[in-house]
Structure 1
Amino acid sequence: MISLTSPIETRAHRWPAGLKLAALCFTTVGLFFVHQLPLQGVFLALVVVLYALPGKLFFCYGLRQISLLWPFIVLVGLWHGVTGEWEQGGIIVLRLLSTVALANLVTMTTRLSDMIDVVNWLTRPLKRLGLNTRALELSIALVIRMTPVLVGKGQSLSLAWRARSNRRSGWRIILPFTVLALDDADHVAEALRARGGLMNDDEQMD
Protein backbone atom coordinates (compact mmCIF):
# COMPACT_ATOMS: atom_id res chain seq x y z
CA MET A 1 0.00 0.00 0.00
CA ILE A 2 1.16 3.55 -0.70
CA SER A 3 0.33 6.97 0.62
CA LEU A 4 -1.17 9.83 -1.39
CA THR A 5 0.80 12.42 0.57
CA SER A 6 3.00 14.43 -1.79
CA PRO A 7 6.76 14.04 -1.21
CA ILE A 8 7.14 17.68 -2.28
CA GLU A 9 7.13 19.76 0.90
CA THR A 10 4.85 22.82 0.95
CA ARG A 11 3.73 25.29 3.60
CA ALA A 12 0.38 23.52 3.78
CA HIS A 13 2.14 20.38 5.05
CA ARG A 14 2.73 22.19 8.35
CA TRP A 15 -0.86 23.37 8.80
CA PRO A 16 -3.05 21.46 11.29
CA ALA A 17 -4.98 18.60 9.69
CA GLY A 18 -8.18 19.56 11.51
CA LEU A 19 -8.02 23.10 10.13
CA LYS A 20 -7.57 21.87 6.56
CA LEU A 21 -10.37 19.32 6.82
CA ALA A 22 -12.74 21.87 8.35
CA ALA A 23 -11.92 24.40 5.61
CA LEU A 24 -12.51 21.70 2.99
CA CYS A 25 -15.88 20.84 4.51
CA PHE A 26 -17.15 24.42 4.66
CA THR A 27 -15.82 25.28 1.20
CA THR A 28 -17.38 22.21 -0.40
CA VAL A 29 -20.75 22.93 1.18
CA GLY A 30 -20.50 26.58 0.15
CA LEU A 31 -19.93 25.66 -3.49
CA PHE A 32 -23.34 24.00 -3.63
CA PHE A 33 -24.93 27.37 -2.91
CA VAL A 34 -23.15 29.01 -5.86
CA HIS A 35 -25.31 28.76 -8.98
CA GLN A 36 -23.45 31.19 -11.24
CA LEU A 37 -21.17 29.68 -13.87
CA PRO A 38 -18.61 32.56 -13.84
CA LEU A 39 -18.19 32.31 -10.05
CA GLN A 40 -17.61 28.55 -10.29
CA GLY A 41 -15.01 29.23 -12.97
CA VAL A 42 -13.25 31.83 -10.82
CA PHE A 43 -13.13 29.44 -7.87
CA LEU A 44 -11.67 26.66 -10.01
CA ALA A 45 -9.04 29.09 -11.26
CA LEU A 46 -8.11 29.84 -7.64
CA VAL A 47 -7.75 26.13 -6.97
CA VAL A 48 -5.45 25.82 -9.98
CA VAL A 49 -3.35 28.66 -8.56
CA LEU A 50 -3.07 26.79 -5.26
CA TYR A 51 -1.73 23.79 -7.14
CA ALA A 52 0.72 25.92 -9.10
CA LEU A 53 2.17 27.86 -6.14
CA PRO A 54 4.43 25.03 -4.82
CA GLY A 55 6.00 24.57 -8.26
CA LYS A 56 5.76 22.60 -11.48
CA LEU A 57 6.43 19.16 -9.96
CA PHE A 58 3.69 19.54 -7.38
CA PHE A 59 1.30 20.89 -10.02
CA CYS A 60 1.91 17.97 -12.40
CA TYR A 61 1.64 15.44 -9.56
CA GLY A 62 -1.69 16.90 -8.50
CA LEU A 63 -3.07 16.88 -12.05
CA ARG A 64 -2.22 13.20 -12.42
CA GLN A 65 -4.19 12.44 -9.26
CA ILE A 66 -7.39 14.10 -10.52
CA SER A 67 -7.08 13.02 -14.17
CA LEU A 68 -9.29 10.01 -13.37
CA LEU A 69 -12.28 12.37 -13.30
CA TRP A 70 -12.45 12.81 -17.06
CA PRO A 71 -14.94 9.94 -17.72
CA PHE A 72 -17.40 11.48 -15.25
CA ILE A 73 -16.89 14.92 -16.75
CA VAL A 74 -17.60 13.57 -20.24
CA LEU A 75 -20.75 11.78 -19.07
CA VAL A 76 -22.09 14.83 -17.24
CA GLY A 77 -21.29 17.06 -20.21
CA LEU A 78 -22.94 14.74 -22.72
CA TRP A 79 -26.07 14.33 -20.61
CA HIS A 80 -26.59 18.04 -20.13
CA GLY A 81 -25.77 18.61 -23.77
CA VAL A 82 -28.52 16.23 -24.82
CA THR A 83 -31.00 17.83 -22.45
CA GLY A 84 -29.95 21.32 -23.54
CA GLU A 85 -28.94 22.41 -20.04
CA TRP A 86 -25.44 23.56 -20.94
CA GLU A 87 -25.10 26.13 -18.18
CA GLN A 88 -26.25 23.73 -15.46
CA GLY A 89 -23.90 21.08 -16.82
CA GLY A 90 -21.01 23.54 -16.76
CA ILE A 91 -21.75 24.46 -13.16
CA ILE A 92 -21.81 20.80 -12.11
CA VAL A 93 -18.58 20.02 -13.95
CA LEU A 94 -16.74 23.02 -12.49
CA ARG A 95 -18.08 22.23 -9.00
CA LEU A 96 -16.99 18.60 -9.35
CA LEU A 97 -13.50 19.60 -10.44
CA SER A 98 -13.15 22.16 -7.65
CA THR A 99 -14.34 19.91 -4.83
CA VAL A 100 -12.30 16.87 -5.88
CA ALA A 101 -9.22 19.00 -6.54
CA LEU A 102 -9.51 20.60 -3.09
CA ALA A 103 -9.96 17.22 -1.41
CA ASN A 104 -6.96 15.91 -3.32
CA LEU A 105 -4.95 18.98 -2.28
CA VAL A 106 -5.74 18.32 1.37
CA THR A 107 -4.77 14.67 0.99
CA MET A 108 -1.52 15.58 -0.74
CA THR A 109 -0.48 17.92 2.06
CA THR A 110 -1.69 15.92 5.07
CA ARG A 111 -0.24 12.76 6.53
CA LEU A 112 -2.62 9.86 6.90
CA SER A 113 -1.80 9.54 10.60
CA ASP A 114 -2.84 13.16 11.13
CA MET A 115 -6.18 12.52 9.42
CA ILE A 116 -6.76 9.49 11.62
CA ASP A 117 -5.99 11.60 14.69
CA VAL A 118 -8.70 14.07 13.63
CA VAL A 119 -11.21 11.24 13.19
CA ASN A 120 -10.18 9.83 16.54
CA TRP A 121 -10.80 13.22 18.19
CA LEU A 122 -14.20 13.61 16.51
CA THR A 123 -15.33 10.16 17.61
CA ARG A 124 -14.09 10.50 21.17
CA PRO A 125 -17.61 11.15 22.55
CA LEU A 126 -18.75 7.87 20.98
CA LYS A 127 -15.95 6.02 22.74
CA ARG A 128 -17.16 7.36 26.06
CA LEU A 129 -20.50 5.72 25.30
CA GLY A 130 -18.73 2.40 24.89
CA LEU A 131 -18.85 2.27 21.09
CA ASN A 132 -15.93 0.87 19.08
CA THR A 133 -14.80 3.48 16.54
CA ARG A 134 -11.84 1.46 15.32
CA ALA A 135 -13.75 0.32 12.22
CA LEU A 136 -14.38 3.90 11.10
CA GLU A 137 -10.75 4.89 11.54
CA LEU A 138 -9.49 1.83 9.66
CA SER A 139 -12.02 2.23 6.84
CA ILE A 140 -10.87 5.80 6.16
CA ALA A 141 -7.24 4.72 6.17
CA LEU A 142 -7.90 1.79 3.85
CA VAL A 143 -9.90 3.86 1.36
CA ILE A 144 -7.16 6.49 1.14
CA ARG A 145 -4.35 3.98 0.84
CA MET A 146 -5.96 1.30 -1.31
CA THR A 147 -7.63 3.51 -3.93
CA PRO A 148 -4.39 4.36 -5.81
CA VAL A 149 -3.30 0.72 -5.54
CA LEU A 150 -6.48 -0.52 -7.22
CA VAL A 151 -6.28 2.21 -9.85
CA GLY A 152 -2.72 1.20 -10.65
CA LYS A 153 -3.67 -2.46 -10.98
CA GLY A 154 -6.56 -1.56 -13.26
CA GLN A 155 -4.20 0.42 -15.48
CA SER A 156 -1.76 -2.50 -15.55
CA LEU A 157 -4.52 -4.88 -16.63
CA SER A 158 -5.55 -2.47 -19.36
CA LEU A 159 -1.97 -2.18 -20.64
CA ALA A 160 -1.56 -5.95 -20.56
CA TRP A 161 -4.71 -6.32 -22.66
CA ARG A 162 -3.53 -3.75 -25.20
CA ALA A 163 -0.23 -5.61 -25.55
CA ARG A 164 -2.14 -8.73 -26.62
CA SER A 165 -5.02 -7.26 -28.63
CA ASN A 166 -5.83 -4.32 -30.87
CA ARG A 167 -9.30 -4.04 -29.35
CA ARG A 168 -10.11 -1.96 -26.31
CA SER A 169 -10.22 -3.84 -23.04
CA GLY A 170 -13.50 -2.34 -21.78
CA TRP A 171 -15.58 -4.81 -19.78
CA ARG A 172 -13.17 -7.67 -20.47
CA ILE A 173 -10.88 -6.73 -17.58
CA ILE A 174 -13.70 -6.44 -15.05
CA LEU A 175 -13.47 -10.08 -13.94
CA PRO A 176 -9.67 -10.19 -13.44
CA PHE A 177 -9.81 -6.78 -11.76
CA THR A 178 -12.49 -8.08 -9.37
CA VAL A 179 -10.36 -11.13 -8.57
CA LEU A 180 -7.35 -8.90 -7.83
CA ALA A 181 -9.46 -6.62 -5.60
CA LEU A 182 -10.85 -9.60 -3.67
CA ASP A 183 -7.37 -11.06 -3.28
CA ASP A 184 -6.09 -7.75 -1.88
CA ALA A 185 -9.08 -7.56 0.46
CA ASP A 186 -8.33 -11.08 1.70
CA HIS A 187 -4.69 -10.20 2.42
CA VAL A 188 -5.71 -7.00 4.23
CA ALA A 189 -8.25 -8.94 6.30
CA GLU A 190 -5.61 -11.49 7.31
CA ALA A 191 -3.21 -8.69 8.26
CA LEU A 192 -5.90 -7.04 10.39
CA ARG A 193 -6.72 -10.30 12.16
CA ALA A 194 -3.02 -10.84 12.89
CA ARG A 195 -2.91 -7.40 14.52
CA GLY A 196 -5.98 -7.77 16.68
CA GLY A 197 -8.73 -6.96 14.19
CA LEU A 198 -11.03 -4.08 15.05
CA MET A 199 -10.42 -4.10 18.77
CA ASN A 200 -9.52 -0.85 20.48
CA ASP A 201 -6.10 -0.44 22.02
CA ASP A 202 -7.58 -0.86 25.50
CA GLU A 203 -9.22 -4.15 24.51
CA GLN A 204 -5.98 -5.44 23.02
CA MET A 205 -4.15 -4.68 26.28
CA ASP A 206 -6.75 -6.62 28.23
Structure 2
Amino acid sequence: MISLTSPVRTRAQDWPAAAKLGALLAATTALFLLPGLWVQIAALAAVLGLYTLPGRVFLRHGLAQLRVLWPIVLVLLVWHALTGDLPDALRIALRIVNAVALANLVTMTTTLSDLTEVVHRIFAPLRRAGLPVAVIEAGIPLVIRFTPTLIQKGRALHQAWRARSSRRANWRIVLPMTLLALDDADHLAEALRARGGISPFED
Protein backbone atom coordinates (compact mmCIF):
# COMPACT_ATOMS: atom_id res chain seq x y z
CA MET A 1 0.00 0.00 0.00
CA ILE A 2 1.10 3.57 -0.72
CA SER A 3 0.65 6.41 1.73
CA LEU A 4 -0.43 9.91 0.70
CA THR A 5 2.09 11.39 3.15
CA SER A 6 4.52 13.85 1.62
CA PRO A 7 8.03 12.62 0.78
CA VAL A 8 9.32 15.98 2.04
CA ARG A 9 9.42 16.87 5.73
CA THR A 10 7.52 20.12 6.45
CA ARG A 11 6.70 22.19 9.51
CA ALA A 12 3.01 21.35 9.08
CA GLN A 13 3.77 17.71 9.95
CA ASP A 14 4.46 18.81 13.53
CA TRP A 15 1.10 20.57 13.87
CA PRO A 16 -1.75 18.77 15.70
CA ALA A 17 -3.89 16.67 13.36
CA ALA A 18 -7.09 17.91 15.02
CA ALA A 19 -6.14 21.54 14.33
CA LYS A 20 -5.44 20.78 10.67
CA LEU A 21 -8.73 18.93 10.25
CA GLY A 22 -10.56 21.79 11.96
CA ALA A 23 -8.92 24.31 9.64
CA LEU A 24 -9.83 22.11 6.67
CA LEU A 25 -13.46 22.01 7.79
CA ALA A 26 -13.58 25.80 8.20
CA ALA A 27 -11.89 26.47 4.85
CA THR A 28 -14.11 24.01 2.97
CA THR A 29 -17.23 25.49 4.53
CA ALA A 30 -16.10 28.97 3.49
CA LEU A 31 -15.50 27.77 -0.07
CA PHE A 32 -19.10 26.60 -0.33
CA LEU A 33 -20.61 29.63 1.43
CA LEU A 34 -18.79 32.22 -0.70
CA PRO A 35 -20.21 31.91 -4.24
CA GLY A 36 -18.13 34.50 -6.12
CA LEU A 37 -15.88 33.35 -8.96
CA TRP A 38 -13.08 35.67 -7.91
CA VAL A 39 -13.23 34.23 -4.40
CA GLN A 40 -12.57 30.77 -5.82
CA ILE A 41 -9.74 32.09 -7.99
CA ALA A 42 -8.15 33.80 -4.98
CA ALA A 43 -8.57 30.59 -2.97
CA LEU A 44 -6.85 28.61 -5.74
CA ALA A 45 -3.93 31.05 -5.70
CA ALA A 46 -3.68 30.68 -1.92
CA VAL A 47 -3.77 26.87 -2.15
CA LEU A 48 -1.04 26.88 -4.80
CA GLY A 49 0.98 29.12 -2.52
CA LEU A 50 0.65 26.60 0.32
CA TYR A 51 1.82 23.81 -1.99
CA THR A 52 4.77 25.91 -3.16
CA LEU A 53 6.09 26.88 0.28
CA PRO A 54 7.72 23.51 1.15
CA GLY A 55 9.59 23.39 -2.16
CA ARG A 56 9.51 22.00 -5.67
CA VAL A 57 9.42 18.30 -4.72
CA PHE A 58 6.44 18.81 -2.43
CA LEU A 59 4.65 20.84 -5.12
CA ARG A 60 5.18 18.21 -7.81
CA HIS A 61 4.07 15.38 -5.53
CA GLY A 62 0.97 17.27 -4.42
CA LEU A 63 -0.11 18.26 -7.92
CA ALA A 64 0.43 14.68 -9.13
CA GLN A 65 -2.13 13.51 -6.56
CA LEU A 66 -4.67 15.96 -7.98
CA ARG A 67 -4.46 14.82 -11.60
CA VAL A 68 -7.38 12.44 -11.01
CA LEU A 69 -9.67 15.49 -10.84
CA TRP A 70 -9.29 16.54 -14.46
CA PRO A 71 -12.01 14.22 -15.87
CA ILE A 72 -14.52 15.62 -13.35
CA VAL A 73 -13.54 19.19 -14.16
CA LEU A 74 -13.72 18.48 -17.89
CA VAL A 75 -17.21 16.97 -17.67
CA LEU A 76 -18.43 19.94 -15.62
CA LEU A 77 -17.05 22.47 -18.06
CA VAL A 78 -18.38 20.69 -21.15
CA TRP A 79 -21.85 20.15 -19.67
CA HIS A 80 -22.27 23.73 -18.47
CA ALA A 81 -20.83 25.09 -21.71
CA LEU A 82 -23.54 23.19 -23.60
CA THR A 83 -26.22 24.55 -21.27
CA GLY A 84 -24.87 28.09 -21.58
CA ASP A 85 -23.72 28.54 -17.97
CA LEU A 86 -19.93 28.41 -18.20
CA PRO A 87 -19.25 30.90 -15.32
CA ASP A 88 -21.19 28.63 -12.95
CA ALA A 89 -19.16 25.65 -14.19
CA LEU A 90 -15.93 27.50 -13.44
CA ARG A 91 -17.12 28.29 -9.92
CA ILE A 92 -18.10 24.68 -9.24
CA ALA A 93 -14.91 23.27 -10.77
CA LEU A 94 -12.68 25.65 -8.81
CA ARG A 95 -14.59 24.91 -5.61
CA ILE A 96 -14.07 21.17 -6.07
CA VAL A 97 -10.38 21.56 -6.92
CA ASN A 98 -9.77 23.87 -3.95
CA ALA A 99 -11.57 21.60 -1.49
CA VAL A 100 -9.82 18.42 -2.66
CA ALA A 101 -6.46 20.18 -2.82
CA LEU A 102 -6.82 21.36 0.77
CA ALA A 103 -7.82 17.88 1.91
CA ASN A 104 -4.84 16.45 0.03
CA LEU A 105 -2.61 18.98 1.75
CA VAL A 106 -3.81 17.72 5.14
CA THR A 107 -3.19 14.06 4.29
CA MET A 108 0.25 14.89 2.89
CA THR A 109 1.29 16.52 6.15
CA THR A 110 -0.46 14.18 8.61
CA THR A 111 0.34 10.56 9.38
CA LEU A 112 -2.41 7.99 9.05
CA SER A 113 -2.11 7.08 12.74
CA ASP A 114 -2.71 10.72 13.74
CA LEU A 115 -5.77 10.94 11.48
CA THR A 116 -7.11 7.68 12.89
CA GLU A 117 -6.65 8.94 16.45
CA VAL A 118 -8.61 12.12 15.69
CA VAL A 119 -11.45 10.08 14.16
CA HIS A 120 -11.42 7.84 17.24
CA ARG A 121 -11.80 10.87 19.52
CA ILE A 122 -14.56 12.38 17.36
CA PHE A 123 -16.59 9.16 17.55
CA ALA A 124 -16.07 8.77 21.31
CA PRO A 125 -19.54 10.18 22.25
CA LEU A 126 -21.24 7.86 19.76
CA ARG A 127 -19.23 4.92 21.07
CA ARG A 128 -20.25 5.70 24.67
CA ALA A 129 -23.85 5.87 23.48
CA GLY A 130 -23.52 2.26 22.32
CA LEU A 131 -23.44 2.89 18.57
CA PRO A 132 -21.25 0.57 16.40
CA VAL A 133 -18.62 3.02 15.17
CA ALA A 134 -15.54 0.74 15.12
CA VAL A 135 -16.26 -0.35 11.54
CA ILE A 136 -16.42 3.27 10.38
CA GLU A 137 -13.22 4.09 12.25
CA ALA A 138 -11.46 1.21 10.51
CA GLY A 139 -12.95 2.06 7.11
CA ILE A 140 -11.73 5.66 6.92
CA PRO A 141 -7.97 4.89 7.12
CA LEU A 142 -8.45 1.95 4.75
CA VAL A 143 -9.96 4.27 2.14
CA ILE A 144 -7.08 6.71 2.59
CA ARG A 145 -4.55 3.88 2.26
CA PHE A 146 -6.04 2.14 -0.73
CA THR A 147 -7.01 5.17 -2.83
CA PRO A 148 -3.45 5.82 -4.11
CA THR A 149 -3.02 2.08 -4.68
CA LEU A 150 -6.08 1.96 -6.94
CA ILE A 151 -4.92 5.09 -8.74
CA GLN A 152 -1.53 3.48 -9.40
CA LYS A 153 -3.15 0.29 -10.69
CA GLY A 154 -5.42 2.32 -12.93
CA ARG A 155 -2.41 4.06 -14.45
CA ALA A 156 -0.70 0.70 -14.94
CA LEU A 157 -3.77 -0.66 -16.74
CA HIS A 158 -3.89 2.42 -18.94
CA GLN A 159 -0.22 2.10 -19.85
CA ALA A 160 -0.65 -1.62 -20.57
CA TRP A 161 -3.56 -0.83 -22.90
CA ARG A 162 -1.55 1.85 -24.73
CA ALA A 163 1.31 -0.62 -25.20
CA ARG A 164 -1.02 -3.10 -26.92
CA SER A 165 -3.43 -0.91 -28.86
CA SER A 166 -3.50 2.38 -30.73
CA ARG A 167 -7.09 3.02 -29.62
CA ARG A 168 -7.88 4.99 -26.49
CA ALA A 169 -8.63 2.90 -23.43
CA ASN A 170 -11.61 4.95 -22.20
CA TRP A 171 -14.30 2.65 -20.77
CA ARG A 172 -12.45 -0.52 -21.79
CA ILE A 173 -10.38 -0.62 -18.59
CA VAL A 174 -13.38 -0.09 -16.29
CA LEU A 175 -14.11 -3.83 -15.98
CA PRO A 176 -10.51 -4.94 -15.25
CA MET A 177 -10.15 -2.01 -12.85
CA THR A 178 -13.32 -3.09 -11.05
CA LEU A 179 -12.07 -6.67 -10.84
CA LEU A 180 -8.76 -5.47 -9.39
CA ALA A 181 -10.60 -3.41 -6.76
CA LEU A 182 -12.80 -6.38 -5.84
CA ASP A 183 -9.75 -8.65 -5.64
CA ASP A 184 -8.01 -6.20 -3.30
CA ALA A 185 -11.16 -5.98 -1.17
CA ASP A 186 -11.35 -9.79 -1.00
CA HIS A 187 -7.71 -10.08 0.12
CA LEU A 188 -8.27 -7.35 2.71
CA ALA A 189 -11.35 -9.12 4.07
CA GLU A 190 -9.38 -12.35 4.38
CA ALA A 191 -6.58 -10.56 6.21
CA LEU A 192 -9.04 -8.96 8.63
CA ARG A 193 -10.76 -12.29 9.29
CA ALA A 194 -7.37 -13.91 9.97
CA ARG A 195 -6.75 -11.25 12.63
CA GLY A 196 -10.11 -11.74 14.32
CA GLY A 197 -12.14 -9.27 12.30
CA ILE A 198 -13.53 -5.96 13.54
CA SER A 199 -16.11 -5.87 16.27
CA PRO A 200 -18.68 -3.12 15.60
CA PHE A 201 -18.66 -2.26 19.30
CA GLU A 202 -14.87 -2.38 19.73
CA ASP A 203 -13.42 0.14 22.19
TM-score w.r.t. length of structure 1: 0.94
Equivalent position amino acid for 1:8 in 2: V
Who is 2:82 aligned against?
A: 82
Equivalent position amino acid for 1:50 in 2: L
Conserved 8 A contact 2:158-2:173 = yes
Q: State whether structure 2 residue 59 is matched by structure 1 residue 59.
A: yes
2:136, 2:52 → 1: CA distance? 33
1:64, 1:92 → 2: CA distance? 21
TM-score w.r.t. length of structure 2: 0.95
Who is 1:182 aligned against?
A: 182
Who is 1:6 aligned against?
A: 6
Moved over 4 A (4+): 200-203
Change (3 A) 1:129 1:108: same
Who is 2:125 aligned against?
A: 125
Q: CA deviation at 1:131?
A: 2.7
Equivalent position amino acid for 1:108 in 2: M
1:124-144 deviation line (CA, Å, top 9, x unaligned): 112212233211111101110
Q: CA deviation at 1:28?
A: 0.5
Q: CA deviation at 1:65?
A: 0.4
Structure 1 runs not aligned, ≥5 long: none
Q: State whether structure 2 residue 36 is matched by structure 1 residue 42.
A: no
Q: CA deviation at 1:201?
A: 9.2
Equivalent position amino acid for 1:193 in 2: R
Matches within 5 A, 1:1-206: 1-199=1-199
Equivalent position amino acid for 1:67 in 2: R
Equivalent position amino acid for 1:47 in 2: V
1:56, 1:202 → 2: CA distance? 43
How many residue pairs get aligned? The number is 203
1:64-106 deviation line (CA, Å, top 9, x unaligned): 0001111111111111111121221111111111101000000
Equivalent position amino acid for 2:76 in 1: V
Q: CA deviation at 1:202?
A: 6.2
1:39, 1:79 → 2: CA distance? 22
Equivalent position amino acid for 1:198 in 2: I
Change (3 A) 1:88 1:201: closer
Conserved 8 A contact 2:51-2:59 = yes
Percent identical residues: 53
SS in 2 for 1:127: helix
Conserved 8 A contact 2:13-2:110 = yes
SS in 2 for 1:166: coil
SS in 2 for 1:110: coil
Q: CA deviation at 1:42?
A: 0.7
